[in-house]
Amino acid sequence: MLAFLLRRIGQSAFVMAAMALIVFVGVYALGNPIDILINPEADQIEREQAIARLGLDRPLWEQFWIFVKSAASGDLGRSFVHGVPAIDLIVSRMPATLELAFVALVLSIGLGIPLGLAAGVKPDSFVSRTIVTGSIFGFSLPNFWLGLMLILLFAVEWKILPAGGRGETRTLFGIEWSILTLDGLQHLILPALTLAIYKASLVVRLAYAGTREALLQDYVKFARAKGLRPSRILGVHVLKAILIPVVTVIGLELGSMIAFAVVTETVFAWPGMGKLLIESIYRLDRPVIVAYLIVVVALFVAINFLVDVIYTLLDPRVRLSEREA
């Protein structure tokens, strides 16, 4: 286990380093920030002062060196637009995104597993077909359009939920949370649902396929022969078997939820780091883009690492094959 952990940490570090390089070269080598960041009406002296101040006159490798040194010390440059350290900007927006992604994740599991189980038990019934076909709609629906339609229904037509923003927040551990106030929850529910539908469909399909396979297994027949209640067979024996693929996918999907939050946050004007990324792209605010990418890559690497470890703990087969290797 220790060897596995060490090897996995090594891999993660390598991915981080490779991504830092790719991100930097991509963002700093392409595009011309000088035209965007400096007032076109500025005279030549002001221009040059600005270039020197922002470090844009240095050779590329030197800019990278500055970038790596400051990244290691937690300073990823200052936002060109806001004039504050980019990393602070990202971190201040991060709780909103994490809150949204987490609630969406809970929603997608809460919807997906029961529906998938129900569909898998009687695969030929009308209900089951409706659920499975519905799941195709669920992941065909363009995320942003779904969000617009929810706004149209709940905010414009029925006027029962707000169309955007974060609502009232309450501070806990020095961070503001929407989930702790009624108003905040009302603001949270539509974006979270929008973000959750796609993953819920994915979970439905996984749980459906897993249930169908598990029901044919000998241990389920045995449990039935033993006279266990059907609810116990489903809720304990089958559920355990389908949880393994679901946990992996959920882990990986948490990362993609954070990425997809970019779209949802734009639609619902949710002040998370995804919206910040889009604003920064419009304004070519490169330090913020770079900081966002580095933070997100670090998050992904951490999530993948955790999923691998949890997976090893959950599934004895993985543990055994690791030992042989």
Partner 1 sequence: MSILPLETQARETALGRGWRAFAESRMAVLALGLVTLLIGVALAAPWITPQDPYDLTQLSILDNMLAPFSQSLDGRSFWLGTDDQGRDMLSAILYGLRLSLFVGVAATAIALLAGTTVGIVAAYFGGRIDAALMRLVDLQLSFPAILVALILLALLGKGVDKVIVALVSVQWAYYARTIRGAALVERRREYIEAAQCLALPRRRVIFRHLLPNAFPPLIVVATVQVAHAIALEATLSFLGVGVPITEPSLGLLIANGYGYMLSGKYWIAFYPGIALLVAIVAINLVGDRLRDVMNPRLRR
Residue 282 CB, shortest distance to partner 1, in Å, is 7
Q: What is the 3-state secondary structure (H, E, C) of 108-124?
A: HHHHHHHHHHHHHHCCC
Sheet strands (E) in the chain: 170-172, 175-177
Q: How many residues bind partner 1 (CB under 8 A)?
A: 41
Nearest alpha-carbon partner for 200 in 107, 132, 120 = 107
Residue from 293, 294, 295, 307 that binds partner 1 (CB under 8 A)?
293
Q: Are 271 and 166 in contact (CB under 8 A)?
A: yes
Pick the closer one to partner 1 by CB: 169 or 266.
266
**36 pairs with which residues across the strands?**
none
Residue from 38, 188, 266, 276 that binds partner 1 (CB under 8 A)?
266
Residue 108 CB, shortest distance to partner 1, in Å, is 15
Per CB under 8 A, does 277 bind partner 1? yes
Residue from 67, 154, 260, 268 that binds partner 1 (CB under 8 A)?
260
Give the pairing of strands 175-177 and 170-172.
antiparallel
Report the Cα 16 to chain-centroid distance in Å: 17
Residue 26 CB, shortest distance to partner 1, in Å, is 6
Alpha carbon separation from 255 to 131, 182, 251, 295, 319 (Å, rounded): 26, 27, 7, 12, 24
Pick the closer one to partner 1 by CB: 38 or 293.
293
Report the Cα 181 to chain-centroid distance in Å: 23
Residues from 148 through 177 that contact partner 1 (CB under 8 A): 148-149, 151-152, 155-156, 163
Buried b (16+ CB within 10 A) or exposed e, 157-167: eeeeebbbebe
Residues from 190 through 249 that contact partner 1 (CB under 8 A): none
Per CB under 8 A, does 140 bind partner 1? yes
Residue 307 CB, shortest distance to partner 1, in Å, is 11
For residue 172, the 8-state DSSP code is E
Per CB under 8 A, does 10 bind partner 1? no
Residue 236 CB, shortest distance to partner 1, in Å, is 26
Residue 173 CB, shortest distance to partner 1, in Å, is 28
Residues from 115 through 134 that contact partner 1 (CB under 8 A): 133
**176 pairs with which residues across the strands?**
171
Residue from 26, 110, 114, 235 that binds partner 1 (CB under 8 A)?
26
Residue 237 CB, shortest distance to partner 1, in Å, is 22
- CA–CA separation, 193 vs 184, rounded Å? 14
Pick the closer one to partner 1 by CB: 178 or 304.
304
3-state secondary structure of 63: helix
Taken in order 104, 159, 137, 278, the sign of the CA dihedral is negative
Residue from 282, 320, 322, 323 that binds partner 1 (CB under 8 A)?
282
CB hemisphere CA count around 148 (13 angstroms): 6
Contacts with partner 1, residue ranges (CB under 8 A): 15, 18, 26-27, 30-31, 133, 136-137, 139-145, 148-149, 151-152, 155-156, 163, 255-256, 259-260, 262-263, 266-267, 277-278, 281-282, 289, 293, 296-297, 300, 304
